[in-house]
A and B are shown apart, each in its own frame.
Chain A
């Protein structure tokens, strides 16, 4: 047999199979950007969309970034009388629950499941990423099957964004916390159950997860309107783009620099979904050299004012993103719109550096005594967008006599370095929940403040804003906090992150959301036209 015959035979064999099919079922095909670890929404590091499609919580977020009730009938507030201050500065919050909800195995969902979830999350080894937020809850009471009451140790602003998922007590209740974390039937199916519109069907390692319609869905038998969802794991961004362009999938996330390529893709629309995430330049004063440079507010201001963020957003990111002026995304109601980040002014930058005693040297780099005005940006290998931004910053700072050098660390090594605080600058972005807390990032003792900066006045604002249920007061404090962060040149917001989502025009009722809940929050309502 000649080689050509072999290929022909293979093609012939291949031609016998058809790509379409599925027996008249509507199957939503998602080109998913990562393979997930486990199906437990609390211990998974990357479950997100797939989890929320199966497993519902008390609340979710809609396309306007607002919390809306899911398993709760309504979100408790002071106004509707469900939030009450009680003796000893405790706060009682009553959640009325939907009363006709059943788990995928037919067992009714009750308030006991909610309290069980609280117990699991707050026990020491639950490994839930935001466990400390739940620790403010002192007690969970179940007056009846459809009412749950949390007793809080005081006012806490994030009370309505917790419980993003509820665990089934009848499946996991007999196990210890440690056993639940490692419980394979729930981590990987088939015992993974929730109350959501889709049920777990199959997980083929490295390949896909398949979910099927929940025929007993509590919002009504007509919902969901799609029979199956298949999440195919396609981690490589270029392969994912090709897969979308070949028409094999209905939904997929791509990178901002790929947007132009799909602009005219027939049958698809690209949504630039604004995330709760701001790309920014962070500087640290934890190292002696960092303290020497960045300890001086004039130097920070000079550096920030030399960086042309408009060019970064418009040219480098090809206009897919907006210049950021605040560390809080515009989709949040706590975003302060009229913040004035100083415009690019290299003349001013040079003056500031002169004033601060950093004088231009013969080598084109500023000096102060024996010290050179140079700093190191630690890049994470493979984070192409951030590395590109860092290169632009490097080129622009050269013009004012500031030298920027790079080190590139592989992902886990970078994280290690960032946590150690022994770095000078990073271009970075975090994905914050729908209700942005700046406290962990910027308070003196913030768990994620690795910069060594401490501003007692800012601390007062941030901490007060966390411990209030008065929306107006909170907004006022957070406005002041945002102003102060910019005024003290603590960090330089660059642009508001977007993730482009390529969505088939056959999908109906798609309403994009860039919170931690993501765009699948209303998947029960989606339609898929033939």
Chain B
């Protein structure tokens, strides 16, 4: 296990190097530069001001030097300063991360509460009308463009019915835990639909697979009640792959919520990225992508380790 982990960690070095080149290259080569943000508000800006801005940001330097500067600094944990706010990128990401984490948390919780029971149900009652209807319903969430679904929910639950707030994380100046949760419901619900269909289908097929396995037949033969067979042996074993899929989905942290956050004015990473994109805030964009990539890698590792920890048949060497 220890040796396996060490090998995986060593492999990270060339991987991160490759990622850094791709990220830097893609962002730098995008047409238009950070000076575009000076004119984005639609007012005229003196050309000399544009030159002075570019010079301060260092985007008038040779590309290879910009890359080496960035690589050197980020290797030491310094992602540089944002072009548009002059603040450290790490601080800006740090401010936004909790909101995204919370939104993802709510979505995961909700998705798990719906997907797991339903997966179990549809595995037990497979090919019944209820199974198909439920499957259709869970696909519905995947099939609706997120922004449309989100705005539709706003129209129904906020504008028409007045039950829930439209956007933000709380009523500013009058926030409380309850108020905050009310704000979390719609975006959490919208984001959770991304996962419900996948998880329930995965759990369903995993349950079916496990129920055919030898040890379940043994348990049945031993005369254990059907509830115990399904409840203890099958479910526990079938959860293993589902949990590792969930761990993989945590890696969506930096990208999964871009649209949801924009629609619900949720102050998370996704919106920060979109904002940085239109301003060509290179350090901010590279920082978010780099941290996103690291998250993906780490949770892949976690998923693999979880798989091993939960399934006694797998051993790492």
Residues of A with Cβ closer than 8 Å to B?
A: 1-3, 6-7, 10-11, 13-22, 25, 27, 29, 35, 37-38, 45-46, 48, 124-125, 127-132, 178, 181-182, 184, 187-188, 204-208, 210, 228, 230, 232-236, 238-239, 242-243, 245-248, 277, 409-416, 419, 429-433, 440-441, 447-448, 516
CB distance from A74 to the nearest CB of B (A): 28
Known: A3-B113, A15-B178. A245 touches B46 (CB 8 A): no
Task: Judge whether B271 is part of the interface by a CB distance below 8 angstroms.
Answer: yes
Known: A19-B171, A236-B265. A415 touches B48 (CB 8 A): no
**Assembly CA distance A6 to B263 (angstroms):** 24
Which of A21, A182, A432 contacts B86 (CB under 8 A)? A182
Task: Judge whether B262 is part of the interface by a CB distance below 8 angstroms.
Answer: yes
Residues of B close to A131: CB separation below 8 A: 46, 48-49
**Assembly CA distance A266 to B173 (angstroms):** 24
CB pair B48–A14 under 8 Å, yes or no, is: no
CB pair A440–B44 under 8 Å, yes or no, is: yes
CB pair B158–A129 under 8 Å, yes or no, is: no
Residues of A close to B110: CB separation below 8 A: 6-7
**Assembly CA distance A177 to B67 (angstroms):** 27
Which of B85, B151, B169 contacts A238 (CB under 8 A)? B151
A-B contacts, 21 listed (Cβ < 8 Å): A14-B181, A16-B177, A19-B171, A25-B173, A35-B275, A37-B84, A37-B279, A127-B56, A178-B56, A204-B267, A206-B96, A234-B167, A236-B263, A239-B154, A243-B166, A412-B36, A415-B40, A416-B31, A430-B44, A432-B44, A516-B43
Residues of A close to B271: CB separation below 8 A: 206, 235
**Assembly CA distance A515 to B117 (angstroms):** 58
Which of B40, B109, B151 contacts A239 (CB under 8 A)? B151
CB pair B185–A14 under 8 Å, yes or no, is: yes
CB pair A415–B32 under 8 Å, yes or no, is: yes
CB pair B265–A234 under 8 Å, yes or no, is: yes
Nearest CB in chain B to that of A227: its residue: B173
Nearest CB in chain A to that of B189: its residue: A7
**Assembly CA distance A413 to B30 (angstroms):** 8
Residues of A close to B95: CB separation below 8 A: 205-206
CB pair B168–A210 under 8 Å, yes or no, is: no
Task: Judge whether B118 is part of the interface by a CB distance below 8 angstroms.
Answer: yes
CB pair A13–B267 under 8 Å, yes or no, is: no
Number of interface residues of B (CB under 8 A): 75
CB pair A181–B86 under 8 Å, yes or no, is: yes
Task: Judge whether B21 is part of the interface by a CB distance below 8 angstroms.
Answer: no
CB pair A206–B272 under 8 Å, yes or no, is: yes
Known: A206-B272, A208-B172. A431 touches B43 (CB 8 A): yes
Residues of A close to B279: CB separation below 8 A: 37, 412
CB pair B32–A410 under 8 Å, yes or no, is: yes
CB pair A22–B265 under 8 Å, yes or no, is: no
CB distance from A327 to the nearest CB of B (A): 13
Task: Judge whether B256 is part of the interface by a CB distance below 8 angstroms.
Answer: no
CB pair A45–B42 under 8 Å, yes or no, is: no
Task: Judge whether B280 is part of the interface by a CB distance below 8 angstroms.
Answer: yes
CB distance from A382 to the nearest CB of B (A): 9
**CB within 8 Å of A: which B42-91 residues:** 42-49, 52-53, 56, 81, 84-87
Residues of B close to A239: CB separation below 8 A: 151, 154, 166-167, 263-265
CB pair B37–A412 under 8 Å, yes or no, is: yes
CB pair A187–B36 under 8 Å, yes or no, is: no
**Assembly CA distance A184 to B99 (angstroms):** 23
Known: A128-B49, A411-B278. A38 touches B85 (CB 8 A): yes
CB pair B158–A45 under 8 Å, yes or no, is: no
Known: A2-B117, A205-B95. A414 touches B32 (CB 8 A): yes
9 further A-B contacts with Cβ under 8 Å, apart from A207-B265, A243-B167, A246-B162, are A10-B185, A18-B176, A19-B171, A45-B84, A129-B43, A232-B265, A239-B151, A433-B43, A516-B43
**Assembly CA distance A413 to B312 (angstroms):** 54
Nearest CB in chain A to that of B37: its residue: A45
Q: Output the residue of B49, B114, B166, B176 with the most chain A CB within 10 A.
A: B166
Nearest CB in chain A to that of B181: its residue: A14
Residues of B close to A235: CB separation below 8 A: 262, 265, 271, 275
Residues of B close to A188: CB separation below 8 A: 85, 87
Residues of B close to A15: CB separation below 8 A: 178, 182
Q: Which 7 A-B pairs have the closest CB atoms?
A: A17-B178, A206-B267, A412-B32, A412-B36, A21-B174, A17-B179, A16-B178
Residues of A close to B263: CB separation below 8 A: 236, 238-239
Residues of B close to A182: CB separation below 8 A: 81, 86
CB distance from A180 to the nearest CB of B (A): 11
CB pair B32–A413 under 8 Å, yes or no, is: yes
Known: A14-B178, A16-B178, A239-B151. A206 touches B268 (CB 8 A): yes
**Assembly CA distance A156 to B38 (angstroms):** 25
CB pair A248–B166 under 8 Å, yes or no, is: yes
Digit string of B179-215 for contact with A (CB within 8 Å is 1, else 0)?
1111001000000000000000000000000000000
**Assembly CA distance A232 to B110 (angstroms):** 27
CB distance from B221 to the nearest CB of A (A): 32
CB distance from B8 to the nearest CB of A (A): 35
CB distance from A38 to the nearest CB of B (A): 6
**Assembly CA distance A235 to B262 (angstroms):** 7
**CB within 8 Å of A: which B5-42 residues:** 30-42
Task: Judge whether B165 is part of the interface by a CB distance below 8 angstroms.
Answer: yes
CB distance from A241 to the nearest CB of B (A): 9
Digit string of B142-170 for contact with A (CB within 8 Å is 1, else 0)?
00000000010011001100101111110
**Assembly CA distance A242 to B176 (angstroms):** 23
**Assembly CA distance A35 to B272 (angstroms):** 10
CB pair B114–A3 under 8 Å, yes or no, is: yes
**Assembly CA distance A232 to B86 (angstroms):** 22
Task: Judge whether B240 is part of the interface by a CB distance below 8 angstroms.
Answer: no
Known: A184-B86, A188-B85. A125 touches B56 (CB 8 A): yes
CB distance from B106 to the nearest CB of A (A): 9
Which of B41, B117, B167 contacts A46 (CB under 8 A)? B41
CB pair A45–B46 under 8 Å, yes or no, is: no
Task: Judge whether B101 is part of the interface by a CB distance below 8 angstroms.
Answer: no
CB pair A411–B36 under 8 Å, yes or no, is: yes
**Assembly CA distance A205 to B182 (angstroms):** 20
Known: A206-B271, A210-B172, A232-B168. A411 touches B42 (CB 8 A): no
**Assembly CA distance A530 to B166 (angstroms):** 22
Residues of B close to A16: CB separation below 8 A: 176-178
CB pair B181–A10 under 8 Å, yes or no, is: yes
CB pair A448–B117 under 8 Å, yes or no, is: no
Known: A129-B45, A246-B158. A1 touches B174 (CB 8 A): no
Residues of B close to A447: CB separation below 8 A: 44, 46-47
Residues of A close to B167: CB separation below 8 A: 232, 234, 239, 242-243
**Assembly CA distance A4 to B95 (angstroms):** 33
CB pair A22–B181 under 8 Å, yes or no, is: no
**Assembly CA distance A412 to B162 (angstroms):** 39
Q: Output the residue of B87, B173, B182 with the most chain A CB within 10 A.
A: B173
Task: Judge whether B306 is part of the interface by a CB distance below 8 angstroms.
Answer: no
Residues of A close to B251: CB separation below 8 A: none
Q: Output the residue of B110, B113, B164 with the most chain A CB within 10 A.
A: B113
Known: A178-B56, A239-B265. A430 touches B42 (CB 8 A): yes
Task: Judge whether B246 is part of the interface by a CB distance below 8 angstroms.
Answer: no
CB distance from A203 to the nearest CB of B (A): 10
Residues of A close to B52: CB separation below 8 A: 124-125, 127
